[in-house]
Every structure is written in structure tokens, then in C-alpha cells.
Amino acid sequence: METPNTNLITLTRHVLSDQIRLGAAATGDLTLLLNAIEVTSKFIATNVRKARLINLVGLAGETNVQGEEQKKLDVLSNDIMVNALRASGKTAVLVSEELEEAIIIEDAQKGKYCVVFDPLDGSSNIDAGVNIGTIFGIYKISPDSKGAIEDVLRPGSEMVAAGYTMYGSSCNLVLSTGQGVNGYTLDASLGEFILTHPNITIPTRGKIYSFNEGNSMYFHPPVNAYLKSIKYPTNGKPYSARYIGSMVADVHRTLLYGGIFGYPDDKKSKSGKLRLLYEAFPMAYLTEQAGGIATTGTQRILDINPKHIHERCSVFLGSRDDVQDLLKFYKDVP
């Protein structure tokens, strides 16, 4: 029998070792903040797993058999994140997909980081037991700011960290603090995320495309022309289609196996569907850190200057060569 590893690299140990390496510049605040996110991921993971058993499935506002009001999983996930991030004492501004307005943290608990997040992305998949996830991005407030909305209305390239947790057959947390991308798997018996995917790098070319092709009739000409080119190649094999409809799962697969994920703007959804701040930015940040490209088709995603916290944008991301192939169509087909 194999003896257990006694030199486990947990998420906290790994992030701490990075901070120690950075020396005087690091205060440990980011480590503590990430620790709060890690705890929320464990809480959400455990509730996602037993959702059907404890009446977490269904619409918020519905009552269960005991006549108690149910809390939808995404509401619950939002609540735990807001509570844990506020209590960490390391945050100044919070933006959640679930909340219309940003939360400005009161002085007594204020820190210097801003967290933008989608607490439970892909939640329409919950009832079917399909993978869902939490997405987050982290900014540091400007030196002269006390924490204001302007601190998060900044290009994604200014984020200091981004990541996601995927709740699937295993629970995986994927994180970048600006020095590459690492993946950790939750060991439920230990209650710790263990480093299992060090230094994730996207293959330069993949064989998979991931689009909701049901929207083809609305897609702009460059997108349809590109899709045609990979389905009917003049030489070589056509690409395989994989689309889960859960961004975290579709991007996770793209980071590991390569290929291209796309949710473009189209004739119906003029700005696309995905949210810039807490969906597109964190995933674009991770993609670039893993050596890939993330674009709207006409612009690098991380260069966009957000005007509103909930704005949307067109997204294509993945392997360098695949995204460059797509971009050629944007140049050629107006």
C-alpha cells in the first residue's frame, strides 16, 4: 500500500510561500483574503453536494415541506461570500452578480482589497447536477482611496489576483496571483485544497470548440465563418464540440485541454451575455496567465475600462493559435 504524502502543499502554504518569496512587499493580507475565499468555496461545495437533500433546489421564495422559506443556492452562496469577505477585514469594496449595488465596507472592517465575484455561476445547471462554480477577481484600492466604486471600474489587467472554484465530480480551485496559474483539489477528508495542477499552461492549439451554436442565426459573420472553418477544414480533422453551458466548467476544460471557448455578442445580445467584471475579467486574467489569449474579437478583454459594475462583453478565450485563427476572420470579414 502506498504511504500517504506527508509533505502536502495546501493552498494556504502555497500562497504563503509566494508571499515570503516577495519579502518586504507582502503583508500577508492577500493570503488572509484568499483564505476567506477558500472557506466560502468549501461551504458552497458542501451545500451544492447535498442541495437536493436539504431543499436548496428550487426558487428562492418557495416554501419547503415544513413550510419554511427556501433559500436558493445562489442566494446562500452570495450571503456566505459577503459575510466572510467583510469579516476578513481585508476588503473595501465588494461587487457580486447577485447584488444590484456594490457594497462599500464600513470603516471598522475596512481593508485594502476589492473583490468582484459571481458566487454561483451557471446556476441554471444546479437541478441537473451539472458542474457550477464561483468566479472571483481581486483589485487593490488606489493608494489615495478609502474604497469607492472607482476602485473596481478599472481594466482587468490591474487585478492582483483572479480565480474560480468548480463544483463538479471533484472540487477544484484555480488561482493566479499574477505569476502563472495553479490548480488545487479539495481533499474533503482533510478539508484542505491540495496543489494538484501546478503551473497550468494552455496547449498552444487544441481540438475543441465551445460555443452555444444554438445562437448561430444571431452570430455575426466572422463567428459563423470561423466556426465553418473548423467544422469543414480544407485539410486535417474537424474540431470536436463541447459545451456545458457553465462558464467555469467550459473554461476549466479549455485551460487544461486547449481549444477555444466563445460567448460572442450577436444580433440579439448586443453586448454578449457574460459579465465583464466578475466573469470575463477573471477568466481572461487566468487565460493570459496560462499563456492563452482572451479577446472580444476586436479588443483585448483585460484592456476594457468598465463603465458599470454589471456590464457585459463579448468573450473568446483559449489556445493562442485557435484564438488567432478566429481573429483573422474579424480582420477579413467585417
Positions in the binding site for ligand AHM (CB under 6 A): 97, 118, 121-124, 212, 245-247, 250, 263, 273
Closest to ligand AHM by CB, 58 or 245 = 245
Tell me what percent of the chain is helix, strand and coil, each rounded to the nearest 5. 35, 25, 40
Closest to Mg ion by CB, 29 or 98 = 98
Closest by CA to 299, choosing from 282, 286, 280, is 280
- Residue 74 binding: pick among ligand AHM, Mg ion, none (C-beta 5-8 Å cut-off by kind): none
118 is an interface residue for Mg ion by CB under 5 A: yes
Three-state DSSP at 34 gives helix
- Residue 245 binding: pick among ligand AHM, Mg ion, none (C-beta 5-8 Å cut-off by kind): ligand AHM
To the nearest whole angstrom, how small is the minimum distance from the Cβ of residue 288 to ligand AHM? Answer: 19
Q: How far apart are CA 3 and CA 211, in angstroms?
A: 44
* Residue in this structure with the C-alpha cell 499574477, named with its chain if needed: 178
Cβ atoms 173, 285 nearer than 8 A: no
121 is an interface residue for Mg ion by CB under 5 A: yes
To the nearest whole angstrom, how small is the minimum distance from the Cβ of residue 125 to ligand AHM? Answer: 8
250 is an interface residue for Mg ion by CB under 5 A: no
Cell (9 digits) for 83: 459575510
Closest to ligand AHM by CB, 38 or 97 = 97
Closest to ligand AHM by CB, 88 or 296 = 296
Cell (9 digits) for 61: 421564495
- Residue 212 binding: pick among ligand AHM, Mg ion, none (C-beta 5-8 Å cut-off by kind): ligand AHM
Closest to ligand AHM by CB, 67 or 214 = 214
Cβ-closest position to ligand AHM: 247
Q: Which long-range contacts (CB under 8 A, 24 or more apart) does 77-84 make?
A: 77/40, 77/44, 77/47, 77/119, 77/120, 77/134, 78/119, 78/120, 80/40, 80/43, 80/44, 80/119, 81/37, 81/40, 81/117, 81/119, 81/134, 84/36, 84/37, 84/39, 84/40
Count of residues engaged in binding Mg ion, rule: CB under 5 A: 2
Query: What residues form DSSP beta bridges with 334?
Result: none
To the nearest whole angstrom, how small is the minimum distance from the Cβ of residue 215 to Mg ion? Answer: 17
To the nearest whole angstrom, how small is the minimum distance from the Cβ of residue 14 to ligand AHM? Answer: 27
Q: Give the start-end residues of each E strand in 9-148.
A: 91-96, 103-104, 110-121, 132-140
- Residue 37 binding: pick among ligand AHM, Mg ion, none (C-beta 5-8 Å cut-off by kind): none
Binding residues vs Mg ion (CB under 5 A) = 118, 121
